[in-house]
Amino acid sequence: MTLKGRDIVSVFDFSRDEIEYLFKKAEELNDIRRGRTLNIATGKLAAITFFEPSTRTRLSFTMAMKRLGGDILDFGEVERTSIAKGETLADTIRMIDGYGVDLIVLRHPSEGASKLAAEVAEAPVINAGDGSREHPTQALLDLYTIWREYSCIDGLNVGVMGDLKYGRTPSSLSYALSMFSNVKVYYIAPKPLQIREEVLSRVKGKIEYLKCEDLREVIDKLDVLYVTRIQRERLPHPEDYEKLKGLYTVTPSSLKGCKDNLIVMHPLPRVTELSHEVDEMKHARYFQQAVNGMVIRAALIKEILGL
């Protein structure tokens, strides 16, 4: 099995076998959780080109590269680059690629940006989030977190809750889950934020799914509850945020009646949709989930670089 040189634009750039292979490869890198730096990627350089705010994705790719012993070329703030002068994405990527970097990690507000970058760059491109469409490495770390908990993905009941319409993590997670067997997904959201038809059409027949508005209707069935924030910056009418915020908040009492081994996940950042009181519950996994992101991204980088 080889991922060497592979562009990762979509979750569908992986097969199920490759996803499971990456879980195992990530487990071999567990030392980096304890702060060890491995000299696997010495002399290798990853360009971190982020055109949108990010904390975890940027830092975990950076940490992953450094823990593998490699280095990063950080694109920095968009305002300090020639993008502010009107340079196109294609020109920027072509130029960074020309410097001879080994990998380009790209986050961009436009859907399709990573595909374009992958077309112009010789170096492999990893999509670190493009608009509302996809965030494949988030799905990878989400599944890795579930797999570490349950040792499998098949047969699980997953509740995906929140802004399923404008968020990219619910789409990528749905696509990733659709590669496994007998998974049931409950899409829990107020009507204006329900999952897009385009996503459902791609998972139809592969997962069983049910849309609902109230977590209480399904809480007793879930093995995983994946909560997401309202994507305020992507709403077509920003004033809608005031109407939508507060429509749902997960608190300890919303989890009443849940399975004993339910895990609560969140890609983070959270705003008001997940109460801090849940952090103290045995179900909370979102901070471990973020750490898992560093490890599985390190495994992915190692495989893409053929190390």
> Residues interacting with ligand NCD, by CB under 6 A?
56-57, 129, 135, 138, 167-169, 228-229, 267-268
CB of 289 to ligand NCD, least distance (A): 9
Tokens 């027949």 correspond to what residue?
Answer: 205
CB of 142 to ligand NCD, least distance (A): 10
d(CA 106, CA 88): 14
Decide whether 16 or 234 has the Cβ nearer to ligand NCD: 234
Decide whether 184 or 229 has the Cβ nearer to ligand NCD: 229
CB of 292 to ligand NCD, least distance (A): 12
CB of 21 to ligand NCD, least distance (A): 23
Decide whether 10 or 228 has the Cβ nearer to ligand NCD: 228
Contact between residue 258 and residue 223 where contact means Cβ atoms under 8 Å apart: no
Question: In angstroms, what CA-CA distances link 62 with 48, 99, 191?
Answer: 8, 19, 37
Decide whether 174 or 228 has the Cβ nearer to ligand NCD: 228
d(CA 281, CA 276): 10
Decide whether 114 or 228 has the Cβ nearer to ligand NCD: 228
Question: Burial of 291 by CB count in 10 Å (0-12 exposed, 13-18 middle, 19+ buried)?
Answer: middle
* Token output for 205: 């027949």
Question: In angstroms, what CA-CA distances link 109 with 51, 118, 124, 173, 240?
Answer: 7, 16, 20, 19, 20
CB neighbours (10 Å) of residue 76? 11
Decide whether 108 or 184 has the Cβ nearer to ligand NCD: 108
CB neighbours (10 Å) of residue 36? 10
CB of 256 to ligand NCD, least distance (A): 26
CB of 128 to ligand NCD, least distance (A): 7
User: Hey, is 185 helix, strand or coil?
Assistant: strand
